[in-house]
C-alpha cells in the first residue's frame, strides 16, 4: 500500500486514480490494473502483475496533480524490493 500526504504529513490526498500513479518494475513502466483507497488507513493499494523475488517496484505520482479545490501535489519517489 502507498500513503499520499501533503508536505505537512497531516493531510492525506484522496481521490487519485490509477492514471495518477507512475509505477515501474525494474525500471520498466507499467500501469496498475486497479487502485483502491482505504479511507480508514489513508492508503492506496495498487494492483500490479505478479511479483517475483528481487524485483524492484517504484511508485510516484505522475507529473503534478491539481485537485478541484486548486491544490497542487507533487510526490517523492519510493521503491521496494520484493523479498
Phi, psi of 82 (to 5 degrees): -70, 125
Give 22: exposed, middle or buried? Use CB within 10 Å, 0-12, 13-18, 19+: middle
pLDDT at residue 56, as a whole number: 92
Separation of alpha carbons 49 and 57, rounded Å: 11
CA separation for the pair 55, 5 (Å, rounded) = 26
Q: Give tens-digit pLDDT for 1-44.
A: 788 877 777 888 888 888 888 899 999 999 889 999 999 999 99
The number of residues making up the chain comes to 83
73 or 31, which is more confident: 31
Amino acid at each position: 500500500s502507498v500513503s499520499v500526504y501533503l508536505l505537512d504529513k497531516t493531510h492525506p490526498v484522496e481521490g487519485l486514480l490509477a492514471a495518477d500513479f507512475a509505477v515501474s518494475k525494474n525500471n520498466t513502466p507499467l500501469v496498475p490494473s486497479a487502485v483502491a483507497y482505504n479511507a480508514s488507513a489513508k492508503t492506496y493499494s495498487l494492483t500490479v502483475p505478479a511479483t517475483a523475488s528481487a524485483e524492484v517496484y517504484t511508485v510516484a505520482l505522475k507529473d503534478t496533480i491539481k485537485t478541484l479545490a486548486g491544490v497542487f501535489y507533487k510526490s517523492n519517489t519510493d521503491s521496494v524490493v520484493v523479498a
